[in-house]
Structure 1
Amino acid sequence: MNSRNRMAGVTSLAVILGLQIGWASAVLADEPWAERTRALGAIGEMPTGVLSKAELDSLRTTGEALFGANFTPLDGVGRPQATQAIDPTRRKHPREQVFFRTAGPDAGSCGACHNQPALGGAGDFVTNVFASEGFESADFDSLDPQFSSERGTNHLFGAGLVELLAREMSHELQSIRAEALAQARAEEAVVRRKLETKGVEFGFITAEPDGSVNLDDLDGVDTDLVIRPFSQKGVMTSLRQFTINAMNQHHGMQSDERFGARWTGSADFDGDGVSGEMSAVDVSALVAWQATLQVPVRKVPDVDGWAGAAARGEASFTDFGCTVCHRPALPLQSLSFADPGPFDLAGTLNDRQVEETAIYDVGLMDWAAALPRDEQGRVLVPLFGDLKRHVMTDNQIDALGNELLSQRFVDRNIFQTAELWGVGSTGPYGHRNDFSSLNDIILAHGGDGRAARDAYAAAADADKSALIAFLKTLVIIP
């Protein structure tokens, strides 16, 4: 008899499913053709320590199967009594149908939206999702922008390196704060320090001798000095948090580490009759697969003249000032991805809540050998981004300020710099996927991107065309 290994032990599917669909269907769940996702619970214990290549490959295989799975009622799909909110929140009125376009669940699988040009990729306009303003205000059924912000699907290739960069940058920013406070106490004087990490500036911090800190001059980062590298607004801390959020919002699949009895007092918080829908091990498998997805690359199409145009376009990319935000590469000290990570808060496992973290060595991946390194041996992650939030509108150009709601205290017209690696494979563009060409999204840049946009707009058509040729060489090769 097949069963699911959960963190609390091995629990029979008949027990898990009995409340919802009765004994006969629970027996059916044990048949080899049963409509359930067999990758759920396939790994019985949390991974710990440094995983070997074989162990990592096994975990990744399970993660890929979960990412591509179409979840079913036997798995626990749907959330009739719960909203999409990050904080576990009950619905005001139970919803009868499983799928609901705005507040979700809105997809059968992760791959339904993350599929361009392959599993783990981006999505077209048709896969757009709807994000609520806060942590609990997510019980709505309208496309009206007063209730939600429409967002496109980003690709996940290279996401593990992005999170590793964010962790190193966060540690360095917090170290600057600690050093400033120590100096202020020792000298009994006010100390003002620039917040800079990996060449990216995040404003200033002022430490007082009494141990207080003035944060008025921060720029593009939260007051806790944690870089949150995921989502268009830069508000998701980790792949683990992103995964838990998305599983609940888009599929109605609840993770034990946030929606289980420890936090909600209920083994079936969403009221669908299924408990233990996703264990921490299932989440770890999904994280391992996403964290080790290969990075996008540069590839010049075999078309006469394209290579020369791309070379000219890359030079213009710098000359126009695009690299002020879209930095071609950021240096990374370590390829060791610890899971759980250091910066997640309640409802997402962190490294203080487990006896030992798992270490996924991204350097074990075949594609990692081709990553460039600097003279210090650091990996140069070619993301074309800076992991910083920027104002993207001004009085003349406000196309990217079309949202009515803030998100996690980030103003409506502020977005994190989009990483451009893979941009040649992931149109349409913009945070709503509503710009059909690279030319259109470039011209939509206002605010902090206005100078580069104006330089592009004033350039000769041949120079604009060359820059587009360069951007189209930044592709994802599955």
Structure 2
Amino acid sequence: MTTVVLKPFAISAALGVVLATTAYAAEPLWSEKAIKQRIDPQSVSGRIAGAALEKLAQQGKDLFEARFTVLDGAGRPNATQAIVPTAPRRPAEAAFQRLAGPDANACSSCHNEPVTGGAGGFVVNAFVSEGFESAHFDTLDAQFSNERGTNHLFGAGLVELLAREMAAELKAERRAALRQARDTGEPVRASLSSKGVDFGRITALPDGSVDLSELDGVDDDLVLRPFTQKGVMTSLRQFTVNAMNQHHGMQADERFGARWTGTADFDGDDHADELGAGEVSALVAFQATLAPPREKRPADEAWAEAAQRGRAIFTELGCESCHRPALPLKSLSFEDPGPLDMAGTLRDADVEVPAVYDLATLEWAKRLPRNDEGEVLVPLFGDLKRHRIADSRTPALGNETLAQRFVERDVFVTAELWGLADTAPYGHRGDMTTLDEVIRAHGAEAEKSGRAYAALPDADRSALIAWLKTLKVGE
């Protein structure tokens, strides 16, 4: 195994906003390259709003739907799917393979139901592994990888903004406890919570250290990582860079390029600088601007009446303890690159002027409800926290045997329920065809609610399903 030590680098960014692409020559329309026009990274900076943001997002959508070819650099004969640039122990036997990847031609090959940016059926399940020890696994044996269904990306920009604000609040609470411990000379046991979500407790000590043994549902650095089913990806940018390499063999130079690996062609496919910072920024802009899912009243009156009753049952069962109906968000300004990524993903400190996507200028944002303090209420039905969701009595949702990023196999981040009606099948593996199945499968921390649901009369269970089927992907 060969790994490469990553080191920071800087990319200068021009002031203002110009979505120019003239820094690179365009391919003819009939070219077999999927990327017809490169995006100058210096053209994406400062506040980007309204029509300019929609234009950048459209460029990102074009890339999201592009079927990458070998002329773009698709494939990675001398690199693995690992998130750290890693050379394989042996050459890949095939340019594309369903397990270790590359396993898709376009992002939309998997994220396509009901529309681009949506979820995917069982046929497009991904196989997730850190990839260091088993770089080119070709077996379904669960000791080598975890099989996962494809999540939808609608509302993803709002989710990342919530995670950033919550991390900032948790860190502020830690600083306050440390100050108190220093000033009093005594240990301070402090509760950590943000936006009404409890993350356990810490004990701050006078010497500046912190006992984290009572922390719950978040990493020790207090950074919420809301993406992937295990909650291990910090940002859309990190998710994008990882996925482009794993699923397409398209390497972003901000991680795999010459500044960090010593070569512009780390995967050895004779195509250098496959994805620049400009292309990654456009992909992030597309995902960040996807409209959040909405609760839609059914036209059928019987359905609407059942759904109203089902919404009340959802509360009565205690489901809202994890599936919070809404979380308050202070700001709709999405900075890219963001403040919480670590080495390996472009960070705000790596550019002179980060781009700031003003989501408030988008039409869908104007429909979002606000609380009395003017904060946006994001109706995600989630809490961005990890929970133990399976146990020996109810093991179905803990069907993985390989730990990922130090997250235990039966621990997952709460699934946001918005968009549920359009994103079957269900469960982490996408092997449950009905909502009834996945609700009954709730164990461990959710066992009480799952059993209470199973004990309901048929009419009440049906009413709950009727309401869940109103949670539609955004428009």
Q: Please give the residue correspondences for 1:334-413 in structure 2 after superposition, counting only pairs within 5 Å.
A: 334-413=331-410
Give the equivalent residue in structure 1 for 2:246.
249
Give the equivalent residue in structure 2 for 1:3.
none
- Alignment partner of 1:266 is 2:263: yes
Q: For the Cα contact (< 8 Å) 1:86–1:136, is it kept in 2?
A: no
Give the equivalent residue in structure 1 for 2:295.
298
2:62 to 18, 41, 65: 65
1:459 to 453, 456, 459: 456
Q: For the Cα contact (< 8 Å) 1:232–1:418, is it kept in 2?
A: yes
- Of stretches 448-457 and 393-402 in structure 1, the one that deviates more from structure 2 is 393-402
Residue by residue over 1:191-216, the C-alpha shift from the partner in whole angstroms, topping out at 9 and shown as x without a partner, is: 01101000000000100000010000
Residue 337 of structure 1 aligns to a residue whose secondary structure is strand
Residue 189 of structure 2 aligns to a residue whose secondary structure is strand
Q: For the Cα contact (< 8 Å) 2:191–2:201, is it kept in 1?
A: yes
Shift of 1:42: 3.6
Q: What amino acid is the match of 1:123?
A: G
Distance 1:206 1:46, change over 3 A: farther
1:195 to 192, 195, 198: 192
- Alignment partner of 1:208 is 2:205: yes
Shift of 1:373: 0.4
Q: For the Cα contact (< 8 Å) 2:154–2:474, is it kept in 1?
A: no
Q: For the Cα contact (< 8 Å) 2:35–2:68, is it kept in 1?
A: no
Residue by residue over 1:293-341, the C-alpha shift from the partner in whole angstroms, topping out at 9 and shown as x without a partner, is: 0010111332240011000000000000111100000000000000000
Q: What amino acid is the match of 1:211?
A: G
- Alignment partner of 1:221 is 2:210: no
- Report the Cα distance in structure 2 between the residues aligned to 1:470 and 1:232, rounded to whole angstroms: 23
Q: What amino acid is the match of 1:240?
A: R
Q: Please give the residue correspondences for 1:100-111 in structure 2 after superposition, counting only pairs within 5 Å.
A: 100-111=97-108
Give the equivalent residue in structure 1 for 2:8.
none
- Report the Cα distance in structure 1 between the residues aligned to 2:78 and 2:99, rounded to whole angstroms: 16
1:94 to 91, 104, 113: 91
Q: For the Cα contact (< 8 Å) 1:85–1:137, is it kept in 2?
A: no
Shift of 1:57: 1.8
- Of stretches 214-223 and 57-66 in structure 1, the one that deviates more from structure 2 is 57-66
Q: For the Cα contact (< 8 Å) 1:88–1:259, is it kept in 2?
A: yes
Residue by residue over 1:8-29, the C-alpha shift from the partner in whole angstroms, topping out at 9 and shown as x without a partner, is: 999988xxxxxxxxxxxxxxx9
Q: For the Cα contact (< 8 Å) 1:134–1:408, is it kept in 2?
A: no
- Report the Cα distance in structure 2 between the residues aligned to 1:43 and 1:462, rounded to whole angstroms: 57
Residue 305 of structure 1 aligns to a residue whose secondary structure is helix
- Report the Cα distance in structure 1 between the residues aligned to 2:388 and 2:134, rounded to whole angstroms: 25
Give the equivalent residue in structure 1 for 2:35.
38
Give the equivalent residue in structure 1 for 2:142.
145
The RMSD of aligned alpha carbons is 1.8
- Report the Cα distance in structure 2 between the residues aligned to 1:311 and 1:163, rounded to whole angstroms: 30
Structure 2 residues not aligned, in runs of 5+: 1-10, 14-20
Residue by residue over 1:257-280, the C-alpha shift from the partner in whole angstroms, topping out at 9 and shown as x without a partner, is: 000011111110001100010001
Shift of 1:342: 0.6
Give the equivalent residue in structure 2 for 1:284.
281
Residue 201 of structure 1 aligns to a residue whose secondary structure is strand
TM-score by length of 2: 0.93
Distance 1:380 1:458, change over 3 A: same
Shift of 1:52: 3.3
Structure 1 residues not aligned, in runs of 5+: 1-5, 14-28
Q: Please give the residue correspondences for 1:420-435 in structure 2 after superposition, counting only pairs within 5 Å.
A: 420-435=417-432
Residue by residue over 1:45-82, the C-alpha shift from the partner in whole angstroms, topping out at 9 and shown as x without a partner, is: 24111113232122111101000000011110000111
- Alignment partner of 1:233 is 2:264: no
Give the equivalent residue in structure 1 for 2:160.
163
Distance 1:281 1:71, change over 3 A: same
Give the equivalent residue in structure 1 for 2:18.
none
2:414 to 409, 413, 417: 417
- Of stretches 279-288 and 391-400 in structure 1, the one that deviates more from structure 2 is 391-400
Q: For the Cα contact (< 8 Å) 2:28–2:36, is it kept in 1?
A: no
- Report the Cα distance in structure 2 between the residues aligned to 1:190 and 1:475, rounded to whole angstroms: 48
Distance 1:459 1:12, change over 3 A: closer
Give the equivalent residue in structure 2 for 1:275.
272
Q: For the Cα contact (< 8 Å) 1:133–1:406, is it kept in 2?
A: no
Residue by residue over 1:409-468, the C-alpha shift from the partner in whole angstroms, topping out at 9 and shown as x without a partner, is: 000000000000000000000110000000000000000111111110111110000000
The ranges of structure 1 where at least 4 consecutive aligned residues each deviate by more than 4 angstroms after the TM superposition are 6-13, 133-137
- Report the Cα distance in structure 2 between the residues aligned to 1:186 and 1:12, rounded to whole angstroms: 58
Give the equivalent residue in structure 2 for 1:24.
none
Q: What amino acid is the match of 1:322?
A: C
Distance 1:399 1:454, change over 3 A: same
- Of stretches 88-97 and 354-363 in structure 1, the one that deviates more from structure 2 is 88-97
Residue 208 of structure 2 aligns to a residue whose secondary structure is coil
Distance 1:42 1:133, change over 3 A: closer
